[in-house]
Amino acid sequence: MLRVKAFQLRLSEVEQTLSISRNDWYSRETTPDKGTNFMKIENEIETEKAAKFSLSKRHLIFFLVLSALLGCAILRSSIATRLDSFTFDEAYHIGAGAAYVQTGDFRLNPEHPPLVKLWTGAFVSGVYELSPYRAVQDKGDERKFVEEDVYNRNDPDLIQSRSRAAMFALNGLLLFLFALAARRVFGDVIALAATAFLVIDPTVAAHLPVVMTDLPVALLSTTAVLLAVQAFRSWRAVDLVLAAIALGLALSAKHSAVITMIAVALIGIVMAIFLVKDAKILLRLKRLGMVAAVLIGAVIVLWSFYLFRFSESPNTSDEQFNRTLAEKISDVKSPIYRAGLNVMANGRLFPRAYTWGMADTIRAGAEGRVASVLAFGNLYYGKAPFYYFPGIFAVKLPLGLLFLTAIGAGFLIMRRIPREFVAPLIGLFVLSLLFWIFFAKGSSYGGIRHALSVVPLLALLASLAVYKAVESKSYLLRGAIVVALIAASISAIPVVRPWEYFNETVGGTANGYRYFNDEGVDLGLRSKELVEYYNQNIKPTGEIPYVAYFGSYTELKKRGLDYLAKDIERDREKLNSEFITGTIILGAGEFTPKLWWDKKTFRETTPTERFGNLFVFRGTFKTSELRVSGLYWGAISRIYTDKPETDLAIRMLSKSVEIDPRAFFAALELGNQYLKIGNREEALRAYRIAKENVPPSDETSEMLARQIERVETEPLEQIQSLRNPGIE
């Protein structure tokens, strides 16, 4: 951009000179020297006009190629994902977004900021019928309330069609902005090559149409860092404003963008203080003030998405969440995090709904959930090993793209790239490192979607290889780049249902589930296919199958699926028998190895049919092995609701604990329910079972020990229930 402006200034000066020279030419007698000078000026003008034409042509080519890439990305994704159902989270986001648009009330789904939900809500609001608000009991009950609206009060297929159009538009726009930011910093070749990388990547294709926050925050975070580096080089007002807007949009997309904010702050401080030679202290302080202005501007953008209102509801200042903010903050284990959240809440630094969501993100994402994690074929409790995040790229990215990334990283390490490329790449490395530090501890349950913010950096590294191939005269390098791109395209582009994609290192898409059980394997996208299979093959026979799949059972019921345990009274005899004979439909995550609720029998049984990561078994199987997890989740749905069924929940939890006491959180919840009805002995027994089975690394053991002491000695009505870590 600086070269363009210098060129324009030079052209203006030359045209001015020409005008004066022409006046002199016609007003005075011409001499040979003057004629020669004039011809030189004329030639210089023609040369610079040709350069200007060439520059315009480059602009045109860039935008034509970029438009073609974005068009191919959307076309490929729309074809590859056309059969996908909603992900497990989408209906929750869409219903909340429609409520935001129609009421201006942000009480629903506060665990995510509003950018994506407002955008999608605006697309669906015209056809979306919203139920009156009611009191909800915790997140599960709130999710059920929203899903009832999406699936039963509205047409889910129409809602999905509109939401897909909304997200194609939003993510297409964000890809466009990312490409512009990359061009501003690195130039045309790298911007287009990085965009092509993202177009080929199956994970990006899978996320383009879904109403989730992972891809938007990844693109916006990278864009914010690139624009921030540019701004902290030029220190021009326009660059600073652009950086603030991009960062504010990232903050409004997902809470993890606070990490991006930290990265931008660190980059700004370093560039303001340490990268200025012979700068006076006042200049450094002035530039630090500019860095602060970018951060403050980003927070202002965030507030604008909440309509500059602290309270979540426009009608009252009282809290309207599914769980109070104070309780949500108290769930966080780290005293440092709790202190920071209390400062945010008491100082009203952010809208209250944003602080609530931040507490939720820290508790589940940074500190970790109760989970049996299968990663690289090994079992872990709560979290995967520290190398999980770099490792997940090794199995989820096409090998051709990984090869390009390795070459580009090699050029960077050997310092064989332009010097001006180094600072923005280091800035993105800082961002990636911070994401790794903050989320390596607990968020592996999300799979690659929680690591998506690193993918644009990998795309830019890979594009360095393309840049060097274009610049170089080496046929070997150019040939290697072409082969890598062709290999990546052959591996990735033909894949239908790209959410399930794994590369050849773990046996491809067909075998990835054997090594991983995170949400990057499946998130309920085959729900419609499950119902279609039931209607065509099972329903005509009158059989009722047993179904366990990580999808919304509200959607499955709406679409007409019948299954064992849908009607407890009807199915009681079968469910209480020792064996179930018939059709069993399971998602891949249901029978991979687990620390508890392990369905080992199905790993040793050949499925009758398979649809990606949806498996159909027929035969005779132990009822207890199938039902144990369903008993727990069925009990939870009857506890955290506006009309609790405590007695039924106790019976279901008791059976679940009897079958597999290793799921300590089930015994903990059973103790809570016995405490609620005043049964001291049974509460103690349940809490003791829970304590015996808590993994050594979990602090819940200490919490249970204190609870047992209190239940043994104090009046029960004075003792509060424990927070069940299994429902976070």
CA distance 661 to 644: 24
Lowest model confidence (mean pLDDT) among 38-47, 75-84, 624-633, 708-717: 38-47
Amino acid 1: pLDDT? 44
Is residue 314 predicted with pLDDT exceeding 50?
A: yes
Query: Is 534 in the same domain as 482?
Result: no
E strand or H helix that includes residue 32: helix 32-80
Is residue 214 predicted with pLDDT exceeding 80?
A: yes
Residue at 49 is within a domain: yes
Measure Cα distances from 39 to 14, 16, 25, 413 in Å.
13, 15, 11, 49
Q: What is the DSSP letter of 350?
A: S
Query: Is 398 in the same domain as 494?
Result: yes
Residue at 42 is within a domain: yes
CB environment 614-649: b (16+ within 10 A), e (fewer)? bbbbeeebebbbbbbbbbbbbbbbbbbbeeeeeeeb
With bands split at pLDDT 50, 70 and 90, how would you rate the model's confidence at 27? very low
> Average of pLDDT values for 152-177?
97
Is residue 467 predicted with pLDDT exceeding 90?
A: yes
Q: What's the burial of 328, exposed, middle or buried (CB within 10 Å: 0-12/13-18/19+)? A: buried
Is residue 184 predicted with pLDDT exceeding 80?
A: yes
Strand 579-587 with 546-548, pairing: parallel
Contact 440/388 with Cβ under 8 angstroms? yes
CA distance 552 to 549: 8
What is the per-residue pLDDT across 417-443, written as a single tens digit (0 to 9) for each? 999 999 999 999 999 999 888 776 656
Query: Is 489 in the same domain as 531?
Result: no
CA distance 650 to 667: 10
Lowest model confidence (mean pLDDT) among 22-26, 141-145, 290-294, 549-553: 22-26
Amino acid 472: pLDDT? 85
Amino acid 56: pLDDT? 81
Amino acid 444: pLDDT? 80
Distance in Å from the first CA to the final CA of the chain = 49
Query: Is 560 in the same domain as 620?
Result: yes
CA distance 475 to 470: 10
Amino acid 501: pLDDT? 96
Is residue 714 predicted with pLDDT exceeding 90?
A: yes
Residue at 473 is within a domain: yes
Query: Is 542 in the same domain as 600?
Result: yes
What is the per-residue pLDDT across 45-73, written as a single tens digit (0 to 9) for each? 666 666 666 768 888 999 999 999 999 99
Amino acid 366: pLDDT? 76
> Average of pLDDT values for 303-312?
96
Amino acid 6: pLDDT? 45
For the chain, how are helix, strand and coil distributed in percent, rounded to 5? 70, 5, 25
Query: Is 534 in the same domain as 434?
Result: no
Helix (H, G, I), strand (E, B) or coil at 111: coil
DSSP string, 637-679: HHHSSSS--HHHHHHHHHHHHHH-TT-HHHHHHHHHHHHHHT-
Is residue 33 predicted with pLDDT exceeding 60?
A: no
What is the per-residue pLDDT across 532-554, written as a single tens digit (0 to 9) for each? 999 999 999 999 999 999 989 99
Residue 684 CA from chain centroid, whole number? 40
Query: Is 491 in the same domain as 395?
Result: yes
Query: Which residue in this structure is represented by tokens 């903010």?
Result: 325
Amino acid 258: pLDDT? 95
Query: Is 390 in the same domain as 473?
Result: yes
Domain that holds residue 449: 380-506
pTM of the full structure: 0.90
Query: Is 491 in the same domain as 547?
Result: no
Residue at 393 is within a domain: yes
Query: Is 536 in the same domain as 482?
Result: no
Find the farthest-apart pair of alpha carbons in the chain and give their distance in angstroms, rounded: 117
Retrieve residue 538's tokens: 């099972």
> Average of pLDDT values for 252-277?
92
Number of domains the chain contains: 3
Domain boundary among 80, 100, 128: 80
> Average of pLDDT values for 127-136?
94
Residue at 202 is within a domain: no
Is residue 663 predicted with pLDDT exceeding 60?
A: yes
Averaged pLDDT of the chain: 90
Residue at 54 is within a domain: yes
Residue at 149 is within a domain: no
> Average of pLDDT values for 464-483?
92
DSSP count for the chain of H helices, then E strands: 30, 6
> Average of pLDDT values for 662-671?
96
Residue at 61 is within a domain: yes
CA distance 388 to 376: 8
Domain boundary among 574, 605, 631: 631
With bands split at pLDDT 50, 70 and 90, how would you rate the model's confidence at 4? very low
What is the per-residue pLDDT across 610-645, written as a single tens digit (0 to 9) for each? 999 999 999 999 999 999 999 999 999 999 988 899
> Average of pLDDT values for 120-143?
93
Domain boundary among 80, 107, 131: 80
What is the per-residue pLDDT across 506-532, written as a single tens digit (0 to 9) for each? 999 999 999 999 999 999 999 999 999
Query: Is 588 in the same domain as 533?
Result: yes
Sheet strands (E) in 536-613: 546-548, 579-587, 609-611
CA distance 320 to 354: 13
Q: What is the DSSP letter of 81?
A: T
Measure Cα distances from 566 to 130, 356, 386, 545, 560 in Å.
26, 34, 40, 10, 11
Query: Is 555 in the same domain as 443?
Result: no
Helix (H, G, I), strand (E, B) or coil at 580: strand
